[in-house]
Amino acid sequence: MNALVGSLLDVVSTALYLYSMVIIASAIFSWLYAFNIVNSNNQVINTIGRVLYNLTEPALRPIRRFMPDLGGIDISPVILLLIIMFLQSFIARIAFSM
């Protein structure tokens, strides 16, 4: 039973790591798009942006709802990454104690 729970915790930790990479990619893409470094008329760029937005927005929206207005600075990805890091640490401690 411990092996099953340990394997499940490994899968969840890996999924959290991959999602954190998606969040970082989305933040970098939004900067590239905002500073007009990437061509916004390119359909591939728009598709990548839409996919990243659709993957990250459901998790970022509740955080943005509770964040105060910081004058155009969005720190919700940082908050979400800190939450993911906390969950990964929690999972590692649970797996280590088994």
Q: Where are the domains of the chain?
A: 2-97
- pTM equals 0.90
- Binning pLDDT at 50, 70 and 90, where does residue 1 land? low
Distance CA 54, CA 69 (A): 23
16-59 confidence digits (pLDDT tens): 999 999 999 999 999 999 899 998 899 999 999 999 999 999 99
pLDDT at 46: 94
51-85 confidence digits (pLDDT tens): 999 999 999 999 999 988 788 888 999 999 999 99
Distance CA 56, CA 83 (A): 14
End-to-end CA distance of the chain: 10
